Structure 1
Amino acid sequence: MRAKRSKTYRKLMQQYGMAFGFREPYQVLVDAPLIRDAARFKMSLGRMLSGVLHGEIKPMITQCCIRHLYDLETTNDTERKQKEEWIEVAKQAERRRCGHHELETPLSALQCLESVVDPKASNTNKNRYVVATQELEVRQRLRRCAGVPLIYINKSVMILEPMAAKSEDVRDADERAKVRAGLKGRRGAVTGEKRRRSEIEDVVDEAPDRANAIAASEAAEAAKDPLTELPMQKKRKVKGPKGPNPLSAKKAKPVKGKSVGRQDEDERAAVRKAMKRDPQAPEKAVGAGAGVGEDGGLKADGTRKRKRKRKVKVGEATMGAEVDVMAA
C-alpha cells in the first residue's frame, strides 16, 4: 500500500472512531465473492484487511454467505479444489448468525447483510460493522446507512471507500454539537457578578417568576453581608507616552575639552593654511595687528611671539671666557 493512500485510510478510520464510536478489533463482514477474488489474486485476506483498517480485525461471515460457497457447482477437480480452499478461508472467520439458516435457500448477500447491519431499517449501523463486499448493489444500499465503512477489491488492490454523504452529515452535526457544548461550558465557567447576571437572564427567558425569586434571594444575601458582595475596584493606571527602552538606546558620548597644546596646534595649522592661500598674509596680519610666530606664522591673538633666549651650557661659557682672555 502506498504511503499517501495509507495515510488517507488512517485518517478516515479516525473519523469513524470519533463520530460513530468504532474501535479495535474492527468487526468485518465479508461475503463469498470477496473471498473468491482474494484467492484468485493470491491475497492474504486477513492481513490485507488489517492493513487497510490500520488495526486489529475480527473477520465475520454470515450463514447465508458461507452457504453460497457450499452451493457452488463444480465440473472438474480444479474447481472442486478451489471451492475447498474458499470454504477453509471462510471457516477461519467467525460465524455471524443472521437467522436465515432455517430457510431452504439462502438469501442474497444484499438482503442478508442489510438485515444484519440495519435490522430495524433506521439507516444506522448500531453494531459498528465494517462491510467488505464485491457486489455493487450492496455497497450502494449501505451508503444510505450512516457510519458503514465499505471495502472492495479492484485489480488486486484493496480499497476503502471514502465516507458517504449520509455519514458526513452525521459527522458534521456531531462536530457542531461538540462546539456548542464547549461554548456553554466556557460560559458557565465565568465566576463573579457576570456569571450570576447571565444565569438570571437565562432564567428570565424561561420562567420570569423564578428569576424574580432568585434576584430577591441574592439581594437578601447582599443585605446580610454587604462587604462580601462589593466588587473590588481596580486602580486605573494613568497611560502616557512611553520612553525608549534603556537597553536599546544609544549611549551619549562624553564631550572632552581640547588641551592647550591641541588648541595651539589647531591655531598654527589654520595660519599655515592661510599662508598657503595668500603668501602676504603675515605682512597683512602685522598691519592689522597680528603677530608672527617663531616659524614665521601668525599668532591667533595678533601679538608677536618673543624670542626665547638660548641657554648657554657650562662648557660653552668657560670656552668663551678663555677666548676673551687670549684676546686681551
Structure 2
Amino acid sequence: MRLRKQKRHRKIVRFYTACFGFREPFKILCDGTFVHHLLANDITPADTALSNTLGASVKIFTTRCVHEELKSLGEGYTESLKAARNLFTARCDHEKRKSAVACITEIIGEDNAEHFFVATQDADLQKKFQMVPGVPVIFGLRNALLLKPPSSYQREFVKSTEEKRSHMSELEYKMLRTKKKVKLAVEEVQESSDVNERKVDQALENQETIMSKNGGKRTEVDRIQFKRKKAKGPNPLSCMKKKNHGHANLVSEKEMKNSEETMRTSRRKRKRPRTGKKT
C-alpha cells in the first residue's frame, strides 16, 4: 500500500511541477485545523512527514490570522498555537484579523503565483481550491497524510493552455509580418544594386566594342575622361640657393702656401763670418 501511495503522490507532484512550475523546496500553507490534526495524531516532526509524502524538501508556512484564530478558540488549542508560531509566517498584510479561510484565499488568489501547497482539514476549503488552477491540496486521514489528485477542471485548464501555446498569438503574428517586410525591402535593395552593376558592365562592354571598331584608339570622350597628370618640377621658392664652393677652395690654397713659406724661413739659420784668432 505504501508503494502505491508513493507512486500516486509522485505522479501528482510531477503534474504540478511540469504544468504549473512548482520547484523544490515545496512551500506548504497550513491552517489551524491541519496543525491541530498533526498534534492530535502524533504526526511529528511535521517536516519529515510532509517531505515523505511529497518526496522532496519542504517549508511549512502559516499566517498571523491563523494564529489569532487559534488563540480565540481557547485553551484546548494552546499547543497547536505554539506549534504554529514555530513555523514560517507568510505575509497577509491584514490590519484587522480575518478568518483563516479568507486569509488563505487572498494569499493564493486566482493563479497561486507563489506556488503554495494548501494543507487543511476543512472540506469546503478543499473543494474551493480544487476549482482553482495550480493549487494542490494536502489533508490528513488518521495517521496518514494524503495528496489530492488534480481535479477535472485543473486538467482541462492545462489542456487549454497547451493549445494556446501551440497556436501563435497576435504579437507573434505582428513580429512575423514585420520580419517579412524587412526581408522584402532588403531583397529589393539587392535587386536594384544588381541592376546597376549590370548597367555598368554593359557600358564597359560598349566602350570596348567602340575601341575595337576604331582600331584600339580612344575617342575624344575617352581622352577627356582619362587625362593623365604630368610630373611638375619643384617649387622654386621652397628650394635653397647653391653655395659657391670654388672661391673657398682658392682661399684655402693661399693659406696653405703662406704657411709653408713661413716654415721654410724659420728653418734657415743665419751664417756668421768666422774671424781668425790672434796669436
TM-score (norm 1): 0.50
After superposition, the C-alpha distances for 1:105-163 in whole angstroms (9 at most, x for unaligned) are x3222211111111xxxx21111111101111212222222111111112332111111
Q: Where in structure 1 are there 5+ consecutive unaligned residues?
A: 182-201, 226-328
Q: CA 1:50–1:208 in structure 2 vs 1: closer, same or farther (change >3 Å)? A: closer
Structure 1 segment 111-126 matched on structure 2, within 5 A = 111-118=102-109, 123-126=110-113
CA distance in 1, matches of 2:24, 2:98: 29
Partner residue, 2:72:
71
After superposition, the C-alpha distances for 1:290-325 in whole angstroms (9 at most, x for unaligned) are xxxxxxxxxxxxxxxxxxxxxxxxxxxxxxxxxxxx
Question: In angstroms, what is the RMSD of aligned CA positions?
Answer: 3.1
Q: Does 1:128 align with 2:115?
A: yes
> Aligned partner of 1:25: which letter?
P
Q: Where in structure 2 are there 5+ consecutive unaligned residues?
A: 169-175, 198-279
Structure showing greater relative contact order (alpha-carbon pairs closer than 8 Å, 6 or more residues apart): 2
Q: CA 1:214–1:152 in structure 2 vs 1: closer, same or farther (change >3 Å)? A: same
After superposition, the C-alpha distances for 1:12-70 in whole angstroms (9 at most, x for unaligned) are 21221222211111111101111111112111222221112221111000111112222
TM-superposed CA distance for 1:173, in Å, is 3.6
CA distance in 2, matches of 1:110, 1:117: 11
> Aligned partner of 1:128: which letter?
H
Partner residue, 2:27:
27
Among candidates 94, 100, 103, match of residue 109 of structure 1: 100
Q: Does 1:147 align with 2:141?
A: no
Among candidates 138, 156, 170, match of residue 169 of structure 1: 156
Partner residue, 2:12:
12
Among candidates 82, 94, 108, match of residue 88 of structure 1: 82
Identical positions, percent? 23
Structure 1 segment 1-328 matched on structure 2, within 5 A = 2-44=2-44, 45-74=46-75, 79=76, 83-100=77-94, 102-103=95-96, 106-118=97-109, 123-176=110-163, 213=185, 216=188
Does the CA contact (< 8 Å) of 1:109 and 1:138 recur in 2?
no
TM-superposed CA distance for 1:164, in Å, is 2.6
TM-superposed CA distance for 1:223, in Å, is 8.2
Which stretches of structure 1, 4 residues or more, deviate above 6 A after TM superposition?
206-211, 220-225
More helix per residue: 2
CA distance in 1, matches of 2:6, 2:149: 13
Tell which deviates more after alignment, 210-219 or 2-11. 210-219
